[in-house]
Amino acid sequence: TKPKPDRQRINTTFVGFRISGGSLKCPRPGANTRQKDDMAAQLAEHTSVDLMTKVAIVEDNATLRKYLAQLIGNTPGHKCVCACESAEQAILEIPKHRPNVVLMDIHLPGESGIACTARLRETMPELQVIMLTVYKDIKMIFQALKAGACGYVLKRADEAEILEAIAEVRSG
């Protein structure tokens, strides 16, 4: 029988985080959330590990699109990688930016958000799509879920609800 190769343990420190044997630990238990988020961002810059949640927005209302982009951009651990005003633009841009999550308007001019979701999920099956809708229209939400959406958020939802929806789809 062949002898088993020794397993090499990884022990490296990056910007306050300690990677030991494959697990990531923060050695400063008293560090506040902002410090931890800053350290995570610095760690991601220096390793191939991407700890940021990359979000794309597909919304035809320019004011809402800008608001969502600012909300995502100002949230630690999140980055808005693209903001599209139509399904057609999203089909071209989203694959280039490889987001983890898409906030998708259900009603878009031209191709609908539901059709756009189905097309994106054909080429990016790992993509998590959250539908944005004005009304809780069960029939439309069901169609969106059949097309590959993971959930929905009402457009009148507050910041915490939007960020919670993103966190929920990211955690499974």
For residue range 65-89, list pLDDT tens digits in order.
Answer: 999 999 999 999 999 999 999 999 9
Over residues 36-46, mean pLDDT: 58
pTM of the prediction?
0.71
The share of the chain scoring above pLDDT 70, in percent, equals 71
Strand order from edge to edge, sheet including 11-14: 11-14, 17-20, 23-25
The distance in angstroms from the start CA to the end CA of the chain is 42
> What are the phi and psi torsion angles at 74 (to 5°)?
-95, 0
CA angle 126/142/163 to nearest 5° reads 55
